[in-house]
Amino acid sequence: MLLSIPLVLIGLELLVRLLVGVSGKTDELAVFQGEPLKVSAYRLKYLDRSGKLYDGLSNQGQLTVKQSPVMGYRLMGNQQQQDWAINEQGFRSDQAIAPDKPKDEVRIFVLGGSTAFGQLSSTNQTTFTKQLEDRLNQQVVAQKENPGKFRPAILPYFADELDKALALPAQIRDSRYRVINAAVPGYISGNELSKLAFDVLSYKPDFIVVLNGYADLLVPSTQEGSDIPGTETLLESAPRHLLMGITEQVKTLISQLFLVKAFQYWVLQPQDALKQVVPPVEGDAPLAQRLPTEADELSRRVDRYRQNMQQFARLTSASKIPLIVAMQPEITGRDPSQHTPREKEILNQLGANYPQQVKAGYSGLQRSLDQVKKEVPQVTTFNFYNAYADFKGEAFQDAIHLTDAANASLSNRLFDAISKQLQLQPKPYGGTEPPAS
């Protein structure tokens, strides 16, 4: 009887594979990991410095990162999946970035964590970074094709014509714009600072945009940045490392059985389940437990954020690069009357104490940005916590990650901020006498 059990399981596995093949779901179930496919697509898979998977760590995600001595970890280059594409430099882009910047190119680098990266976006094209790039380039084309719809380079003399001219939208620099998404899921301000100094500055950016804040509230003040979770535990004990490695291999083997996948996919139906895809952490603690409950610990996390953003401001100011720092949107900033049923479910999942904890954290972050602005006045700062308060339709897919429509709204906000710094200033009428009427 004992010998017959594996034979029965093998028979059932073959039968399920046959039925799945007939249903046309073979490719879909092959990558299915027991959770929504989009979540698996954006979950991280960790490699060590030599490029090998960590024994003992769960590596069910598809977005591959490699351990880095200065950045904690970094995105591996040349990755592609239907939801995203990572170029050879490890940026979220369909094209590589030339080391030598063309003379007619304006480069805007975006740094941050998972919200800036565009976690859960449908494609690269639906991220706010790509939509921002498209808007800037579309305006350049519109200026050339319809110059009469924009403010002229030389203002007219007569008052009525001058008022009409000034009412038109200003032109921006005639250039080719590249918005490069250099964000990495899970990064906090310390990781982003290292990314700026050791990676981004070498590409000679014309603008730096940082969208962050939330992850700094989640990571203990004893850490300078995010790292691959669980590696310290693995190194504490060789026997434990071995046991965890064997356990993970067994779990992986079982999870790859189509018999298990089919049960999870059709019976448990995780595709309809909510999943919080937030910065990596050892274990699976709820977000409310990862937010600080003690005032002293919150103060230390906020102070870490302030110090890192001050370094951002000093580095960019020394390089004469305009810096925009924005605190990222978060679901509790929504007006309750605008919540969709799914957003209400997200808030219920987060718990009763979560909103108060987040609001306290964002208040601390705002004070930090005020201090950065005071020290380096040329830095542009925004607080997007309430950016979707009155947004019509669904804005959030979990606590911090935006829908495609909400990403479009964010790109519009950043376009307004950046285009102001790119505006061409028209010259006054320079004739010696008024033009003939």
In this model, does residue 235 exceed pLDDT 60? no
Better-predicted residue by pLDDT, 250 or 47 = 47
> 113 and 193: one domain?
yes
pTM of the model: 0.86
Would residue 153 count as lying in a domain?
yes
Q: What is the pLDDT of residue 204?
A: 96
In this model, does residue 431 exceed pLDDT 70? no
Contacts 24+ apart (CB under 8 A), 143-147: 143/171, 143/172, 143/174, 144/174
Please name the helix (run of DSSP H) or strand (run of DSSP E) that holds residue 180, with its range, or none.
strand 176-181
Q: What is the pLDDT of residue 371?
A: 97
* Domain total of the chain: 2
Beta bridge partners of 86: 79, 92
Would residue 185 count as lying in a domain?
yes
> 123 and 28: one domain?
no
CA neighbours closer than 13 Å in the CB half-sphere of residue 314 = 9
Instruction: State the Cα–Cα distance between residues 295 and 299, nearest whole angstrom.
Output: 6
Please name the helix (run of DSSP H) or strand (run of DSSP E) that holds residue 237, with its range, or none.
none
- Alpha carbon 136 to chain centroid, angstroms: 20
Q: Interhelix angle for 341-350 vs 354-375, to 10°?
A: 90
392-428 pLDDT, tens per residue? 999 999 999 999 999 999 999 999 999 999 999 888 8
Would residue 300 count as lying in a domain?
yes
> 33 and 149: one domain?
no
> 242 and 332: one domain?
no
Which two three-digit tokens encode residue 299? 């103060």
Instruction: State the Cα–Cα distance between residues 93 and 321, nearest whole angstrom.
Output: 22
Instruction: State the Cα–Cα distance between residues 380 and 377, nearest whole angstrom.
Output: 8
Better-predicted residue by pLDDT, 135 or 255 = 135
Which of 262, 279, 296 is a domain's end point? 279
Q: Are 140 and 174 in contact (CB under 8 A)?
A: yes
> 57 and 5: one domain?
yes
> 215 and 118: one domain?
yes
> 98 and 138: one domain?
yes
Sheet-wide strand order for 323-327: 176-181, 105-112, 207-212, 323-327, 380-383
Better-predicted residue by pLDDT, 82 or 18 = 82
Q: Left, alpha or beta for 254 (phi > 0: left; psi -120 to 50: alpha)? A: alpha
> 272 and 294: one domain?
no
Q: What is the pLDDT of residue 241?
A: 47
36-77 pLDDT, tens per residue? 778 888 989 999 999 988 876 765 689 999 999 999 999 999
> 103 and 165: one domain?
yes
Residue 359: give its domain's CATH number: 3.40.50.1110
- Alpha carbon 84 to chain centroid, angstroms: 12
In this model, does residue 252 exceed pLDDT 90? no
> 274 and 302: one domain?
no
Across 4-8, 218-222, 267-271, 309-313, least confident range: 267-271
> 24 and 141: one domain?
no
Q: What Rg do the C-alpha atoms of the chain give, in angstroms? A: 25
Contacts 24+ apart (CB under 8 A), 354-362: 354/287, 354/288, 354/291, 357/288, 357/291, 357/292, 357/293, 358/217, 358/291, 358/330, 358/332, 359/332, 360/298, 361/214, 361/217, 361/291, 361/292, 361/298, 361/301, 361/302, 362/213, 362/327, 362/330
363-399 pLDDT, tens per residue? 999 999 999 999 999 999 999 999 999 999 999 999 9
Would residue 429 count as lying in a domain?
no
Tokens 């399981």 label which residue?
Answer: 9
Would residue 434 count as lying in a domain?
no
Torsions phi, psi for 236 (to 5 deg) = -65, -35
> 37 and 117: one domain?
no
Average of pLDDT values for 280-296? 81
Q: Are 270 and 34 in contact (CB under 8 A)?
A: yes
Instruction: Compute the mean pLDDT over every residue in the chain, rounded to the nearest whole number.
Output: 87
DSSP-derived letter for residue 397 is S
Would residue 71 count as lying in a domain?
no
In 3D space, the residue among 271, 275, 413 whose CA is nearest the CA of residue 349 turns out to be: 275
Would residue 437 count as lying in a domain?
no
Range of the domain at 2: 1-61+237-279
Instruction: Give the length of the chain.
Output: 437
Burial per residue of 241-270, b for 16 or more beta-carbon CB atoms within 10 angstroms, e otherwise: beebeeebeeeeeeeeebebbbebbeeeeb
321-362 pLDDT, tens per residue? 999 999 999 999 999 999 999 999 999 989 999 999 999 999
Q: What is the pLDDT of residue 288?
A: 87
Would residue 70 count as lying in a domain?
no
